[in-house]
Amino acid sequence: MSGQSDPRGFTFSAAELEFLAEDETMEIVPNLSMERLSLISGDFGPFRPQIATQVPIWLAVALKKRGKCTIRPPDWMSVEKLTQVLEAERDSASSFEALPFHYVEISRLLFDHARDDIPDVYMVRSLIEDIKDVRFHKIGTGLEKLSSRTYAMKLNLSAMEVNVIRPFVTGGLETFYKLGNPDMIQESERQEYRRPQAADRGPRRELRR
Amino acid sequence: MESGSGEGTGGFSAMDDYETLISTTDADLLKRSWRNEKAAPEILQFESSLVQRSREQIQLMEETVEEFMKNGEDPLTVSLYQMDIDRTLFLLRSYLRTRLQKIEKFMFHIQKTADLWTRLSRQEQKFAKRSIEDMKQHLEQSVLTKLPDRYKSHLKQSVISEEDDMVMEPKLDAFVICRTRKFLGSLPVDDSGEENPLDMYAGDIYALRYKSIKPLIETGQLDLV
């Protein structure tokens, strides 16, 4: 059993991560009147034209698709904020700036469905791409520090980043743990010297002798 | 909610608990259970009352939507309600399906481990029993009956095996990635002699060995992500 790796690899698919991100709330300005929605995921509204309100992204996108609202991009998605983040990311070799846990998915959803609501959309988009690249480069360098002495690894990253490096990190740590585990070493020694026939492939070994 | 978190967390965690208490909906709880179940290597306790409540809510909402349609409610409102139902249904289905996959994978192990067996719902136990029977029958018919006497067990490689060495077990030593819900103080994560406590603050994300944090997931202080 030891050599088996998990065939699933990624625990969550990209679509599932997007699904999770769609529950984050966002401010919208509706242009219709609609009563309060009492949904399973919470109560939202009432909706009145020109009055901003907070809704989950899936709801915002659904209204946007029908032309019933404009989405107000979150503060962190402004050129000014993103430029700061990018500079800070570049300045520090190891630490990561605080971005929303789902920043990749949220920005992607807004680029896909609400381009016209984002000021300087091209600039914002390229800044986010740059931030993503810089962070991934740092993650790659950070992973080189993984060693047999790592019992826990702090990964204050976003959902997508965590998901991408998950198979490597968990697999690597697990292998180091296995190799460094004194019980394991003793057990394999015991199996080798003390009970040659008792092990699972007993009969075959007898044949070979 | 006891955590071995030591001093200095009293008021803070009480406030935290209060906040989760007032702001946690069943939808959030279901999402959390789904994530944990998907990321944990072994099967977790079945959330029977949560599943029951979610089912009832979905049913209630479906009735509401039907009523809306009858009364000629605005189609946009109806479609938004429907989307909300679909999202909850997806979570519920995916949660149950993830569990069934684990049961299929580890059925013999779950069956012989009382602690695991009780984590299943009644329907899951029924499913497990039938899968076990079918799998056993299949293995016997296709292979085992044709083998020499000492190799006829579906649980053991041969009669001299001391343990059930053909039973697939979940790897509890596997590393998982988790996020803390609140300050947990220092946490001894290393059980191999060396003291190596971690200071875990709310929102921190760590890769840790599943075995060492298992109790914290069960009490809801950590989420798997």
Give the ipTM of the model, two decimals please: 0.81
Test the B interface: residue of A8, A65, A151 with most B CBs within 10 Å: A151
pLDDT, position A2: 34
How many angstroms separate the Cα of A34 from the Cα of each of A51, A63, A113, B71, B77?
12, 11, 21, 16, 8
pLDDT, position A59: 97
Per-residue pLDDT of A40-60, as tens digits, reads 999 998 999 999 999 999 999
Instruction: Report whether pLDDT(B21) > 90.
Output: no
Q: Which residues of A touch B203 (CB under 8 A)?
A: 156
- The Cα of A194 is separated from the nearest Cα of chain B by a number of Å equal to 14
pLDDT, position B132: 96
A·B CB contacts under 8 A? 121
- Per-residue pLDDT band for B212 (boundaries 50, 70, 90) equals confident
pLDDT, position B190: 56
**How confident is the prediction for chain B on average, in pLDDT?**
85
Per-residue pLDDT of A97-133, as tens digits, reads 889 999 999 999 999 999 999 999 999 999 999 999 9
Residue contact B205–A34, C-beta within 8 A: no
- Any idea where the domains of chain A sit in the sequence? 11-72
Q: Which residues of B touch A174 (CB under 8 A)?
A: 171, 173-175
pLDDT, position A9: 55
Residue contact B207–A19, C-beta within 8 A: no
A 10 A CB-CB count for B22 gives 7
pLDDT, position B173: 87
All domains in chain B, ordered by first residue: 22-168 (1.20.58.1030), 171-225 (3.40.5.60)
Residue contact B206–A152, C-beta within 8 A: yes
Candidates B29, B185, B205; CA nearest to A165 is B205
pLDDT, position B8: 35
Instruction: Report whether pLDDT(B6) > 80.
Output: no
Q: What is the dihedral of CA A133, A76, B39, B209, to 10 degrees?
A: 70
Angle at B140 between CA B134 and CA B142, to 5 degrees: 95
Per-residue pLDDT of B139-159, as tens digits, reads 999 999 999 988 888 888 888
The gap from C-alpha B10 to its chain's centroid, in whole angstroms, comes to: 29
Distance CA(A150)–CA(A173), nearest Å, equals: 7
Q: Which residue has the higher pLDDT, A138 or A94?
A: A138
Q: Which CATH architecture has domain A11-72?
A: 3-Layer(aba) Sandwich (3.40)
Instruction: Report whether pLDDT(A91) > 80.
Output: yes
Chain B's closest residue to A68, CA to CA, is B76
Closest Cβ–Cβ partner in A42, A162, A201 for B205: A162
Q: Which residues of A touch B161 (CB under 8 A)?
A: 200
Per-residue pLDDT of A154-187, as tens digits, reads 888 999 999 989 988 888 888 888 887 766 565 5
Q: Which residues of B touch A157 (CB under 8 A)?
A: 205
Distance CA(A9)–CA(A159), nearest Å, equals: 15
Residue contact A170–B160, C-beta within 8 A: no
Enclosing H/E stretch for A72: strand A69-72
**How confident is the prediction for chain A on average, in pLDDT?**
83
The gap from C-alpha B222 to its chain's centroid, in whole angstroms, comes to: 13
Average pLDDT over residues B178-200: 68
- The Cα of B104 is separated from the nearest Cα of chain A by a number of Å equal to 15
Q: Which residues of B touch A68 (CB under 8 A)?
A: 76
Test the A interface: residue of B177, B179, B209 with most A CBs within 10 Å: B177
- Per-residue pLDDT band for A197 (boundaries 50, 70, 90) equals very low
Per-residue pLDDT of B75-124, as tens digits, reads 999 999 999 999 999 999 999 999 999 999 999 999 999 999 999 999 99
pLDDT, position A188: 55
Q: Which residue has the higher pLDDT, A202 or B53?
A: B53
Average pLDDT over residues B14-39: 76
Tokens for A196?
């040659």
A144: phi then psi, degrees, rounded to nearest 5: -65, -20
Instruction: Report whether pLDDT(A94) > 90.
Output: no
A54: phi then psi, degrees, rounded to nearest 5: -95, 130
Residue contact B175–A62, C-beta within 8 A: no
Give me the percent of chain A exceeding a pLDDT of 70: 81
pLDDT, position B24: 80
- Per-residue pLDDT band for A11 (boundaries 50, 70, 90) equals confident
Closest Cβ–Cβ partner in A1, A11, A20 for B39: A11
